[in-house]
Amino acid sequence: MRRFGAILLDGLLALTAAYIALTSADHAGLPTLQTFYAVAGAGFGISFLNHVLLTRIAGASLGKFAVRTRIIRETDASRPRLPRLFRRWLGGYLFLVVWIIAACFEMEDDPEDFCGVRLVRYRDLRALVPAYGR
């Protein structure tokens, strides 16, 4: 349930940015194609900042902070580097499509994290690695 809560909050953040861009572009009277670019840029830009840069700096996106989870590398429980986080961010959009298809066919497999990272509860991480976050 924590994963779903984080996805919901992070998705709402990106959708809010896209909505603000849409409202601003509409108010400015931009043509349709420029409006599309503004909305897509705002939504994907906020998503990138949240899922890649913030996760690299702080260990979690805003949604993951809210549900008290963190992203770690499988091998040593450290924070993942930018290339790994970027691949995970791009793969997340592909996974979303696969997840929707799987839901339509009522498949019940729980997805594992990919790119060599895991989602863990912050409480469990602090108990395992006391120096995490310093």
- Taking a C-beta distance cutoff of 8 angstroms, is the pair 117, 84 a contact? yes
CA distance 33 to 35: 5
3-state SS string over 59-110? CCCHHHHHCCEEEEECCCCCCCCHHHHHHHHHHHHHHHHHHHHHHHCCCCCC
One-letter amino acid identity for 119? L
What is the pLDDT at residue 26? Answer: 93
What is the pLDDT at residue 129? Answer: 64
At 3, list the tokens: 């994963």
Please give the chain's pLDDT, 134 residues, in tens: 778 899 899 999 999 999 999 999 999 999 999 999 999 999 999 999 999 999 999 999 999 999 999 999 988 888 999 999 999 999 888 877 777 777 777 765 555 566 788 788 888 777 776 655 55
CA distance 55 to 61: 5
What is the pLDDT at residue 59? Answer: 92
